[in-house]
Amino acid sequence: MSLATSRMSGMSSVTVTHSAAPGRVAGTAPPRGRRGVRGARRASGTPRAPCGRARRRRAGRTGESAGGQGRPRPESPGSGAGRRQTGGMVLDILVLATLQEGPLHGYELKRRVVRPSLSTVSNNSLYPALRRFEESGAVTVAVEQQEGRPARRTYSLTEVGRRQLVERISTLPAEKAANDEEFAVRFGLFDQVGPEARVAVLRERLSAVEHKLATARELVAAHDAHAPASHRDLAAARLVAVLDDERRWTAELIAAEAGRADPDARSAESGAPAVARLLG
Protein backbone atom coordinates (compact mmCIF):
# COMPACT_ATOMS: atom_id res chain seq x y z
CA MET A 1 0.00 0.00 0.00
CA SER A 2 1.08 3.69 -0.38
CA LEU A 3 0.89 6.63 2.02
CA ALA A 4 -0.03 10.11 0.77
CA THR A 5 -0.13 13.26 2.94
CA SER A 6 -2.03 16.47 2.18
CA ARG A 7 -2.80 19.75 3.86
CA MET A 8 -6.46 20.44 4.46
CA SER A 9 -7.78 23.19 6.72
CA GLY A 10 -4.45 23.37 8.43
CA MET A 11 -4.49 19.74 9.44
CA SER A 12 -2.42 16.87 8.15
CA SER A 13 -4.33 13.87 6.90
CA VAL A 14 -3.06 10.50 5.83
CA THR A 15 -4.73 8.55 3.02
CA VAL A 16 -4.11 4.81 2.82
CA THR A 17 -4.48 3.25 -0.63
CA HIS A 18 -4.50 -0.58 -1.11
CA SER A 19 -3.02 -2.04 -4.31
CA ALA A 20 -5.80 -4.00 -5.99
CA ALA A 21 -5.23 -7.72 -6.39
CA PRO A 22 -5.30 -9.06 -9.93
CA GLY A 23 -8.86 -9.49 -11.18
CA ARG A 24 -10.37 -7.26 -8.44
CA VAL A 25 -11.30 -3.60 -8.57
CA ALA A 26 -9.47 -1.44 -6.05
CA GLY A 27 -11.52 -0.56 -3.01
CA THR A 28 -13.80 -3.61 -3.21
CA ALA A 29 -13.98 -6.26 -0.53
CA PRO A 30 -12.08 -9.52 -1.14
CA PRO A 31 -14.28 -12.39 -2.39
CA ARG A 32 -15.67 -14.71 0.23
CA GLY A 33 -16.87 -18.32 0.01
CA ARG A 34 -16.57 -20.86 -2.79
CA ARG A 35 -18.35 -18.72 -5.38
CA GLY A 36 -16.11 -15.77 -4.67
CA VAL A 37 -13.00 -17.91 -5.03
CA ARG A 38 -14.18 -19.36 -8.33
CA GLY A 39 -15.09 -15.91 -9.64
CA ALA A 40 -11.70 -14.48 -8.70
CA ARG A 41 -9.97 -17.46 -10.32
CA ARG A 42 -11.90 -16.96 -13.57
CA ALA A 43 -11.17 -13.24 -13.63
CA SER A 44 -7.46 -13.76 -13.06
CA GLY A 45 -7.25 -16.58 -15.62
CA THR A 46 -5.81 -19.04 -13.08
CA PRO A 47 -6.70 -22.63 -14.06
CA ARG A 48 -8.28 -24.82 -11.43
CA ALA A 49 -6.14 -27.74 -10.29
CA PRO A 50 -8.00 -31.08 -10.51
CA CYS A 51 -8.94 -32.68 -7.21
CA GLY A 52 -7.58 -36.06 -6.17
CA ARG A 53 -10.69 -37.92 -7.29
CA ALA A 54 -10.62 -36.29 -10.73
CA ARG A 55 -6.94 -37.15 -11.09
CA ARG A 56 -7.62 -40.78 -10.23
CA ARG A 57 -10.48 -40.98 -12.74
CA ARG A 58 -8.31 -39.42 -15.43
CA ALA A 59 -5.47 -41.83 -14.65
CA GLY A 60 -7.87 -44.76 -14.82
CA ARG A 61 -9.09 -43.72 -18.28
CA THR A 62 -5.63 -43.22 -19.73
CA GLY A 63 -4.03 -46.18 -17.94
CA GLU A 64 -1.42 -43.87 -16.42
CA SER A 65 -0.65 -43.02 -12.82
CA ALA A 66 1.45 -40.25 -11.31
CA GLY A 67 4.62 -42.20 -11.95
CA GLY A 68 3.78 -42.60 -15.63
CA GLN A 69 3.13 -46.32 -15.32
CA GLY A 70 -0.33 -47.80 -15.67
CA ARG A 71 -1.68 -49.50 -12.56
CA PRO A 72 -2.96 -53.00 -13.30
CA ARG A 73 -6.52 -53.50 -12.15
CA PRO A 74 -7.23 -56.50 -9.94
CA GLU A 75 -9.10 -59.41 -11.49
CA SER A 76 -12.76 -59.03 -10.63
CA PRO A 77 -14.87 -62.03 -9.60
CA GLY A 78 -16.88 -61.73 -12.81
CA SER A 79 -13.89 -61.64 -15.15
CA GLY A 80 -12.93 -64.41 -17.52
CA ALA A 81 -9.93 -65.54 -15.48
CA GLY A 82 -12.04 -65.67 -12.32
CA ARG A 83 -14.62 -67.86 -14.06
CA ARG A 84 -12.00 -70.27 -15.38
CA GLN A 85 -10.47 -70.63 -11.92
CA THR A 86 -13.77 -71.33 -10.19
CA GLY A 87 -15.24 -73.82 -12.68
CA GLY A 88 -17.51 -71.50 -14.62
CA MET A 89 -20.58 -69.48 -13.82
CA VAL A 90 -24.25 -70.12 -14.41
CA LEU A 91 -24.50 -68.17 -17.66
CA ASP A 92 -21.40 -69.83 -19.11
CA ILE A 93 -22.86 -73.28 -18.54
CA LEU A 94 -26.27 -72.33 -19.92
CA VAL A 95 -24.85 -70.73 -23.08
CA LEU A 96 -22.65 -73.71 -23.89
CA ALA A 97 -25.46 -76.17 -23.14
CA THR A 98 -27.94 -74.26 -25.32
CA LEU A 99 -25.52 -74.14 -28.25
CA GLN A 100 -25.45 -77.95 -28.20
CA GLU A 101 -28.86 -77.78 -29.87
CA GLY A 102 -27.28 -76.23 -32.96
CA PRO A 103 -25.99 -72.91 -34.33
CA LEU A 104 -27.87 -69.87 -33.06
CA HIS A 105 -27.65 -66.14 -33.52
CA GLY A 106 -27.46 -63.92 -30.46
CA TYR A 107 -31.14 -62.95 -30.23
CA GLU A 108 -32.38 -66.53 -30.48
CA LEU A 109 -29.73 -67.71 -28.01
CA LYS A 110 -30.81 -65.09 -25.50
CA ARG A 111 -34.44 -66.15 -25.91
CA ARG A 112 -33.67 -69.82 -25.25
CA VAL A 113 -31.37 -69.40 -22.26
CA VAL A 114 -33.43 -69.77 -19.08
CA ARG A 115 -31.67 -69.38 -15.75
CA PRO A 116 -32.74 -71.62 -12.84
CA SER A 117 -33.76 -68.45 -10.98
CA LEU A 118 -35.97 -67.51 -13.99
CA SER A 119 -34.23 -64.13 -14.18
CA THR A 120 -33.68 -62.67 -17.64
CA VAL A 121 -30.35 -62.65 -19.44
CA SER A 122 -29.08 -59.22 -20.47
CA ASN A 123 -27.09 -58.37 -23.59
CA ASN A 124 -24.40 -56.91 -21.32
CA SER A 125 -23.74 -60.36 -19.87
CA LEU A 126 -24.48 -62.56 -22.90
CA TYR A 127 -22.29 -60.96 -25.57
CA PRO A 128 -19.14 -60.59 -23.42
CA ALA A 129 -19.50 -64.30 -22.62
CA LEU A 130 -19.77 -65.12 -26.33
CA ARG A 131 -16.66 -63.05 -27.07
CA ARG A 132 -14.73 -64.96 -24.41
CA PHE A 133 -15.88 -68.27 -25.83
CA GLU A 134 -14.87 -67.17 -29.32
CA GLU A 135 -11.41 -66.19 -28.07
CA SER A 136 -10.94 -69.51 -26.26
CA GLY A 137 -12.11 -71.54 -29.27
CA ALA A 138 -15.26 -72.80 -27.54
CA VAL A 139 -17.48 -71.33 -30.28
CA THR A 140 -17.06 -70.28 -33.88
CA VAL A 141 -18.83 -67.31 -35.46
CA ALA A 142 -20.30 -67.09 -38.95
CA VAL A 143 -21.17 -63.59 -40.17
CA GLU A 144 -24.17 -63.34 -42.50
CA GLN A 145 -24.59 -60.08 -44.41
CA GLN A 146 -28.16 -58.80 -44.68
CA GLU A 147 -29.24 -56.16 -47.15
CA GLY A 148 -30.33 -53.00 -45.38
CA ARG A 149 -29.79 -54.55 -41.96
CA PRO A 150 -26.83 -55.18 -39.64
CA ALA A 151 -24.86 -58.36 -40.26
CA ARG A 152 -26.08 -61.38 -38.31
CA ARG A 153 -23.56 -63.37 -36.25
CA THR A 154 -24.35 -67.04 -35.78
CA TYR A 155 -22.57 -68.99 -33.02
CA SER A 156 -21.70 -72.70 -33.15
CA LEU A 157 -20.30 -74.92 -30.41
CA THR A 158 -16.94 -76.62 -31.02
CA GLU A 159 -15.37 -79.71 -29.47
CA VAL A 160 -13.39 -77.38 -27.23
CA GLY A 161 -16.68 -75.88 -26.08
CA ARG A 162 -18.14 -79.31 -25.36
CA ARG A 163 -15.14 -80.18 -23.22
CA GLN A 164 -15.43 -76.87 -21.38
CA LEU A 165 -19.11 -77.56 -20.70
CA VAL A 166 -18.43 -81.00 -19.22
CA GLU A 167 -15.62 -79.56 -17.10
CA ARG A 168 -17.89 -76.85 -15.70
CA ILE A 169 -20.73 -79.26 -14.94
CA SER A 170 -18.34 -81.63 -13.19
CA THR A 171 -16.88 -78.96 -10.90
CA LEU A 172 -18.68 -77.14 -8.09
CA PRO A 173 -16.19 -75.00 -6.14
CA ALA A 174 -16.69 -74.92 -2.39
CA GLU A 175 -17.24 -71.15 -2.43
CA LYS A 176 -20.15 -71.61 -4.86
CA ALA A 177 -21.71 -74.75 -3.40
CA ALA A 178 -24.10 -72.80 -1.15
CA ASN A 179 -25.48 -70.89 -4.15
CA ASP A 180 -28.76 -72.53 -5.15
CA GLU A 181 -28.52 -71.47 -8.80
CA GLU A 182 -24.94 -72.69 -9.18
CA PHE A 183 -25.99 -76.12 -7.94
CA ALA A 184 -29.27 -76.24 -9.85
CA VAL A 185 -27.71 -75.50 -13.24
CA ARG A 186 -25.21 -78.34 -12.79
CA PHE A 187 -27.78 -80.77 -11.41
CA GLY A 188 -30.05 -80.10 -14.39
CA LEU A 189 -27.25 -81.21 -16.74
CA PHE A 190 -26.15 -84.30 -14.79
CA ASP A 191 -27.03 -86.52 -17.74
CA GLN A 192 -23.95 -85.14 -19.53
CA VAL A 193 -21.45 -86.33 -16.91
CA GLY A 194 -20.70 -89.65 -15.24
CA PRO A 195 -21.61 -90.88 -11.73
CA GLU A 196 -18.22 -89.95 -10.28
CA ALA A 197 -18.62 -86.30 -11.31
CA ARG A 198 -22.18 -86.24 -9.99
CA VAL A 199 -21.08 -87.59 -6.61
CA ALA A 200 -18.32 -84.97 -6.37
CA VAL A 201 -20.77 -82.13 -7.03
CA LEU A 202 -23.38 -83.58 -4.66
CA ARG A 203 -20.85 -83.96 -1.85
CA GLU A 204 -19.83 -80.31 -2.18
CA ARG A 205 -23.48 -79.33 -2.06
CA LEU A 206 -24.18 -81.55 0.95
CA SER A 207 -21.31 -79.96 2.87
CA ALA A 208 -22.65 -76.47 2.11
CA VAL A 209 -26.21 -77.42 3.09
CA GLU A 210 -25.04 -78.91 6.39
CA HIS A 211 -23.17 -75.71 7.19
CA LYS A 212 -26.24 -73.59 6.44
CA LEU A 213 -28.41 -75.95 8.47
CA ALA A 214 -26.15 -75.62 11.51
CA THR A 215 -26.36 -71.83 11.27
CA ALA A 216 -30.16 -71.92 10.99
CA ARG A 217 -30.44 -74.20 14.01
CA GLU A 218 -28.35 -71.76 16.03
CA LEU A 219 -30.87 -69.04 15.20
CA VAL A 220 -33.73 -71.23 16.39
CA ALA A 221 -31.87 -72.20 19.57
CA ALA A 222 -31.27 -68.53 20.40
CA HIS A 223 -35.02 -67.94 20.71
CA ASP A 224 -36.41 -67.58 24.22
CA ALA A 225 -38.80 -70.50 24.66
CA HIS A 226 -40.97 -68.46 27.06
CA ALA A 227 -41.38 -65.54 24.63
CA PRO A 228 -43.96 -65.52 21.83
CA ALA A 229 -42.53 -66.53 18.46
CA SER A 230 -41.84 -63.64 16.10
CA HIS A 231 -41.99 -63.79 12.32
CA ARG A 232 -38.20 -64.01 12.35
CA ASP A 233 -38.39 -67.09 14.55
CA LEU A 234 -40.98 -68.65 12.25
CA ALA A 235 -38.77 -67.94 9.23
CA ALA A 236 -35.77 -69.54 10.94
CA ALA A 237 -37.79 -72.63 11.84
CA ARG A 238 -39.04 -72.90 8.27
CA LEU A 239 -35.47 -72.57 6.97
CA VAL A 240 -34.36 -75.42 9.24
CA ALA A 241 -37.11 -77.65 7.86
CA VAL A 242 -36.24 -76.83 4.23
CA LEU A 243 -32.50 -77.32 4.71
CA ASP A 244 -32.95 -80.56 6.64
CA ASP A 245 -35.16 -81.88 3.84
CA GLU A 246 -32.56 -80.97 1.21
CA ARG A 247 -29.84 -82.54 3.34
CA ARG A 248 -31.63 -85.89 3.34
CA TRP A 249 -32.52 -85.64 -0.35
CA THR A 250 -28.91 -84.89 -1.30
CA ALA A 251 -27.62 -87.77 0.83
CA GLU A 252 -30.03 -90.14 -0.93
CA LEU A 253 -28.79 -88.94 -4.32
CA ILE A 254 -25.17 -89.48 -3.29
CA ALA A 255 -25.94 -93.03 -2.19
CA ALA A 256 -27.72 -93.75 -5.47
CA GLU A 257 -24.98 -92.24 -7.66
CA ALA A 258 -22.23 -93.96 -5.68
CA GLY A 259 -23.98 -97.25 -6.35
CA ARG A 260 -23.98 -96.54 -10.09
CA ALA A 261 -20.30 -95.69 -9.98
CA ASP A 262 -19.41 -98.85 -8.04
CA PRO A 263 -21.84 -101.79 -8.53
CA ASP A 264 -20.05 -103.82 -5.84
CA ALA A 265 -20.64 -101.06 -3.29
CA ARG A 266 -24.27 -100.87 -4.36
CA SER A 267 -24.85 -104.53 -3.62
CA ALA A 268 -23.05 -104.32 -0.29
CA GLU A 269 -24.69 -101.14 0.96
CA SER A 270 -27.63 -99.32 -0.53
CA GLY A 271 -30.81 -97.53 0.39
CA ALA A 272 -31.40 -96.46 3.99
CA PRO A 273 -28.07 -97.74 5.43
CA ALA A 274 -26.07 -95.71 2.92
CA VAL A 275 -28.10 -92.58 3.61
CA ALA A 276 -27.76 -93.05 7.38
CA ARG A 277 -23.99 -93.30 6.99
CA LEU A 278 -23.86 -90.07 4.97
CA LEU A 279 -26.00 -88.23 7.50
CA GLY A 280 -23.85 -89.42 10.37
| Residue 150, domain CATH | 1.10.10.10
Note the pLDDT tens digit of each residue in 202-218.
999 999 999 999 999 99
Please report whether residue 22 resides in a domain.
no
270 and 219 both lie in a single domain: yes
User: Which residues form the domain of 108?
Assistant: 80-166
Note the pLDDT tens digit of each residue in 216-274.
999 888 877 777 878 888 898 999 999 999 999 999 999 999 988 776 655 445 555 55
Measured distance CA(92)–CA(223) in Å, rounded: 42
Q: Residue 274's pLDDT is what?
A: 53
Note the pLDDT tens digit of each residue in 146-202.
888 888 899 999 999 999 999 999 999 999 999 999 999 999 999 999 999 999 999
The structure's pTM equals 0.63
* Cα torsion angle, 192, 197, 199, 205, sign: negative
Question: How large is the greatest C-alpha to C-alpha distance in the chain, in angstroms?
Answer: 130
DSSP code, position 179: -
Which one of 148, 166, 184 terminates a domain?
A: 166
Please report whether residue 4 resides in a domain.
no
Is residue 19 scored above 80 in pLDDT?
no
Number of domains making up the chain: 2
Q: Residue 200's pLDDT is what?
A: 97
198 and 162 both lie in a single domain: no
Measured distance CA(104)–CA(114) in Å, rounded: 15
Is residue 74 scored above 60 in pLDDT?
no
pLDDT band at 69 (very low <50, low <70, confident <90, very high): very low
151 and 207 both lie in a single domain: no
Q: Residue 37's pLDDT is what?
A: 56
Please report whether residue 250 resides in a domain.
yes
Is 56 in a helix, a strand, or coil?
helix
Q: Residue 260's pLDDT is what?
A: 84
> Rounded mean pLDDT of 89-102?
95
Q: Using CA atoms in the order 146, 150, 156, 160, what is the torsion angle rounded to 10 degrees?
A: 140
Q: Residue 212's pLDDT is what?
A: 97
* Cα torsion angle, 277, 204, 263, 253, sign: positive
Note the pLDDT tens digit of each residue in 121-154.
899 999 999 999 999 999 999 998 888 888 889 9
Alpha-carbon distances of 25 from 21, 80, 156, rounded to whole Å: 8, 61, 74
Q: Which of 101, 96, 173, 97 is nearest to 137 (CA)?
A: 96
Please report whether residue 10 resides in a domain.
no
156 and 208 both lie in a single domain: no
Please report whether residue 208 resides in a domain.
yes
DSSP code, position 190: G
